Amino acid sequence: MSDNKSSSTTNNKDRSSMPSSTTSDDGAKQRIPSTLKQTPTSKRTAIWILLYLCATNVLIFMDRGTLSAMVKGIREHYDASTTEAGVLGSIFMAGFLIASGPFAYLPHYIHPILIMTIGLGIWMAANVLAFFSTEFWMLVLARALTGAGEASFCTLAIPLINDVSPPESKTRWIGYYSMMVPFGYALGFIYGQNVMSATNSIFWPFLIEVFLMAPFWLLTFSSRFRKALISTHYKNLRDNFRSSIVPSQSGDDESVDAQSVSDVSSMEGIEMQDPIRRHLSRRQSASGPSHLDERTPVQRNFLQEVTVILKTPLFLCLAFGYAAFNFTYGGLGYWANDYVETQFDFSASDTVIINAIISVVCGISGAILGGYWQDR
């Protein structure tokens, strides 16, 4: 009797440590140990994270729209040429592009929340510098730093939304976040023109934006907020994958197909799914016996990762497509107000309202419909 109890205890322990090797009598079902149960972010927490990211995104793109609404005023204040005004708009994107790579890579070593805190701090400091810009080159430098600060937020926001969103609504949630882009632009058109007219200055809109962003930046110092975002970022990728395989049921254990358990067990080495690890594994296999299994940590190298990514056709297609989108949308968004006001003799207030309506209607409807269609 004692031997039977000991044997039963040993078997239970074996099942907990080796979920994919344990089968029931008929071989069709297995018991999922509690160590593999999903621990997803609560829906309420996920929604609050989405709202925070969307609100911050609105302010970031409102800043872009604000600059567009003030192009004519900036040219008149600094006696700048059209080319110099174009440089002012382009230098922002240059700062964004230069900073995007490092900010996207740093989460391998630094908590994403710290990166976001630093980036939003740079964004706010850049707008303070813009407020005190007595020379045109100072404003150019400020806009470059604004782009660099924005990069820290934009490179982390969508992966974070992908982590916290329900499996069946991931694209829709990203669509909600993305539709803040045209909404922020439209808000910036109206905000920039009206504040510039009310204060008779091109500088006050930049400083007011700092005060608008300050609460969202200070929130990143909250221990409760940090705990929610950090735990979400590091746990939910694997949990969300499991939830797509293991049906959620009540009780201490769950019964699923043997193949499903094997699939979940293999995801303990989820790092194998990224192209960097697959590339290194193929290289090592070609040179001899491979010791890079699914649990082996990979020493990541930035240039090595970039090389592998640039050999991925899907990534290249998406990158070039997004670049074409930004070329068109960025050019129209930056010059539309100045062009319509100058060429068609519209008033500044009418121009920003017309462009804001077009931006909101087309951008938001496209984001919602695209996300809905992708999730179906």
pLDDT at 283 over 80: no
Task: Quickly state the pLDDT bin for 126 (edges 50, 70, 90).
Answer: very high
Sign of CA dihedral 60, 65, 68, 70: negative
Cα(101)–Cα(3) distance, rounded to whole angstroms? Answer: 60
Q: Tell me the backbone φ, ψ of residue 347, rounded to 5 degrees.
A: -75, 155
107-111, 192-196, 343-347: segment of lowest average pLDDT: 107-111
For 19, residues 6+ apart whose C-beta sits below 8 A from its C-beta are: 30, 32, 33, 35, 36, 261, 264, 265
Confidence at residue 371, expressed as pLDDT on a 0 to 100 scale: 66
pLDDT at 36 over 60: no
pLDDT at 259 over 70: no
Report the amino acid identity of residue 229: L
pLDDT at 297 over 50: no
Confidence at residue 285, expressed as pLDDT on a 0 to 100 scale: 52
2 versus 213: the higher-pLDDT residue is: 213
25-39, 49-63, 75-89, 202-216: segment of lowest average pLDDT: 25-39
Per the confidence metrics, is the pTM higher than 0.85? no
131-178 pLDDT, tens digit per residue, is: 999 999 999 999 999 999 999 998 889 888 888 888 888 888 888 898
Task: Quickly state the pLDDT bin for 277 (edges 50, 70, 90).
Answer: very low
Tokens coding 131: 């407020």
Task: Quickly state the pLDDT bin for 230 (edges 50, 70, 90).
Answer: low
Percent of the chain with pLDDT over 90: 33
Closest CA to 193 of 329, 356, 78, 84: 356
Task: Quickly state the pLDDT bin for 300 (edges 50, 70, 90).
Answer: low
Cα(5)–Cα(3) distance, rounded to whole angstroms? Answer: 5
For 133, residues 6+ apart whose C-beta sits below 8 A from its C-beta are: 139, 142, 203
Confidence at residue 375, expressed as pLDDT on a 0 to 100 scale: 65
Tokens coding 12: 């239970």
Task: Quickly state the pLDDT bin for 30 (edges 50, 70, 90).
Answer: very low
For 236, residues 6+ apart whose C-beta sits below 8 A from its C-beta are: 40, 41, 163, 164
Mean pLDDT of the chain: 75
Task: Quickly state the pLDDT bin for 349 (edges 50, 70, 90).
Answer: confident
Cα(20)–Cα(192) distance, rounded to whole angstroms? Answer: 60
Confidence at residue 302, expressed as pLDDT on a 0 to 100 scale: 72
pLDDT at 59 over 70: yes
- Mean pLDDT calculated for residue range 108-126: 89
Helix axes 302-310, 275-287, angle to 10 degrees: 90
Confidence at residue 365, expressed as pLDDT on a 0 to 100 scale: 83
